[in-house]
Structure 1
Amino acid sequence: MSLPIVGQPIPRLTGPSTQGPFDSAQLAGKPYVLYFYPRDNTPGCTTEAQDFRDLHGQFLAHGCAVFGVSRDSLKSHERFAEKQSLPFALISDPDEALCTLFGVMKNKTLYGKPVRGIERSTFLVDAAGQLAREWRGVRVPDHAAEVLQAVQALGT
């Protein structure tokens, strides 16, 4: 299976989320953001979630939904979303189906030991269901604002 390519359609995506079953078919005609992050309740992931939370109203003003994705369980996501007052859904991907589709699983080093985990990445899908933009190897500071600028550039 090949990775999504900017300008090409994204296949239908489904999975359990903190706001009920996620199905990208229900987003037809609307842009959306999928941001992949390594783990709930870790410093960088918490900051990233807070940044998307704080800008959420602006994403919605452009008709754009935001979804966070990690391998954490739905229960972990629910606790994380409640603790951080996240207004958007977190999608649980324990079988790594979405992670594999977007090619975000990477071998990394943590405290000197090799581990396999999610490379922080974000994908913007336009109203036509095509990949409009991708960010891989994301650094958290100012990232959510950069994604918002890309949404604004779509002209929605």
Structure 2
Amino acid sequence: MAFVEIGKPVPDFAAQATSSKDIVLSRLKGWKVVLYFYPKDNTPGCTTEGLDFRDYYEDFKKAKTLIFGVSKDILKSHEQFRAQYQFPFELISDTDAYLCRMFEVIQPLNMYGKQIQGVERSTFLIDSSGVLRREWRKVRVNGHVEEVLEAAEATD
């Protein structure tokens, strides 16, 4: 498996998303793409992050940037989460953790004093020709979406 690296083209991928869509990176040329990885639907931090992306969605559209949330949840969970909070963007179901491994977001996490392997909240900005331009790892939700938007506006 190929891993992503800043300044290099992101390997093409296909993934299932909400609204019965198949997301294929190579078909999105001409658009910038934000992939934000989050641990789980309907948890406090993940909901807040999704709401922030929702609230800035029109600004991202003006910056010719598509947004996709990615977690290991099943599509049914994603559909409910998306509908409940009226997210205008699609959520990708990565149940086999293919994208999580490609973007190296599966990390050891401390959960209630136990070490587990989980999804580290991370965001990636891919430019309109498919090259990875920015990454944010160990994301703290407050102010994050504004920083991603600023980077998207400054990227071709």
| TM-score, normalised relative to structure 1 | 0.96
Q: Tell me which residue corresponds to 2:16.
A: 16
Deviation of 1:3 after TM superposition, in Å, equals 2.8
Question: Matched residues in 1 for 2:4 and 2:116: separation?
Answer: 25
Q: Tell me which residue corresponds to 1:124.
A: 125
**1:73 and 2:74 matched:** yes
Amino acid in structure 2 at the alignment position of 1:13: F
The gaps in structure 1 that reach 5 residues or longer are: none
Deviation of 1:13 after TM superposition, in Å, equals 1.7
Question: Matched residues in 2 for 1:101 and 1:7: separation?
Answer: 15
Cα deviation, 1:16-63, whole Å, max 9, x if unaligned, reads: 100311111210121110000000000000000000000000000111
Deviation of 1:72 after TM superposition, in Å, equals 0.3
Q: Residues 128-147 of structure 1 correspond to what in structure 2 (within 5 A)?
A: 128-147=129-148
Amino acid in structure 2 at the alignment position of 1:6: I
Is contact 2:108-2:117 (8 Å) kept? yes
Q: Tell me which residue corresponds to 1:102.
A: 103
Question: Matched residues in 1 for 2:110 and 2:37: separation?
Answer: 18
Question: Matched residues in 1 for 2:134 and 2:115: separation?
Answer: 30
Deviation of 1:2 after TM superposition, in Å, equals 5.0
Q: Tell me which residue corresponds to 1:115.
A: 116
| TM-score, normalised relative to structure 2 | 0.96
**Displaced runs of 4 or more, over 6 A:** none
Amino acid in structure 1 at the alignment position of 2:3: L
Amino acid in structure 1 at the alignment position of 2:17: S
Q: How many residues align?
A: 155
Select between 116-125 and 24-33 the one with higher mean Cα deviation.
24-33
User: RMSD of aligned C-alpha atoms?
Assistant: 0.9
Question: Matched residues in 2 for 1:6 and 1:106: separation?
Answer: 19
The gaps in structure 2 that reach 5 residues or longer are: none
Q: Tell me which residue corresponds to 2:87.
A: 86
Deviation of 1:76 after TM superposition, in Å, equals 0.3
Q: Tell me which residue corresponds to 2:64.
A: 63
Identical counterparts, % of pairs: 48
Question: Matched residues in 2 for 1:13 and 1:69: separation?
Answer: 13
